[in-house]
A = this chain, B = another copy of it.
């Protein structure tokens, strides 16, 4: 029996990750990778209530063994025909001493992600303002986001000639989430990014023809003042 293609979303929180999962679930069964299973389980229920197919898998993207176990479980559940992989995991952008763990282990997680499936036509990484702008007191987040962008670009050069679309999305603003509503952080609600609108752009990147591919987009709300 022909396998049905599915999508993997690594890193599903209340913002971009959940919205991208819902958007891709309109077309594909989705495998959700999350460190904590609570939010991911609720998201699975929500997607199923909307008629989609989803399953959550607990995994720590910075732990190679944890990722291996998760990919084994994904294969058993969905097979090997991965149509798109979205890497949305991230360290928290709060000021702190140099911490590189999530950054260097990210490489392992990614390597596994590419290596464990037969073929991934689309691979999308989630970046941030810090991917292209270097602010003071933000060394770990800035350096890891710059590094992730470099990784995306080198993977793009290496795998696009093989037909893999590797793209990097710079989320250049604050996303509407329960947390950012509660804290009224940084900007008014109207000035915040709509995660469902972001997810449409992720889907457009996946839907692009191989004869017209974009390897990076930045996303801003209309009232972002830069």
Contact = CB atoms under 8 A, between A and B. Distances in A.
A163 interface: yes
Most chain B beta-carbon contacts within 10 A, residue among A98, A154, A160, A176: A154
Contact of A222 (B100, B161, B204): B161
A155 interface: yes
Interface residues of A, number: 63
A222 B211 contact: yes
The oligomer's copy count stands at 4
B136 A143 contact: no
Interface string A165-200: 100000000001000000000000000111001101
Most chain B beta-carbon contacts within 10 A, residue among A165, A201, A207: A201
A98 B107 contact: yes
Interface in A19-45: none
Given A134-B156, A135-B154, A139-B158, 4 more contacts: A146-B149, A163-B222, A194-B212, A200-B208
Interface of A: 97-98, 100-101, 103-104, 107-108, 111, 134-139, 142-147, 149-151, 153-158, 160-161, 163, 165, 176, 192-194, 197-198, 200-201, 204, 207-226
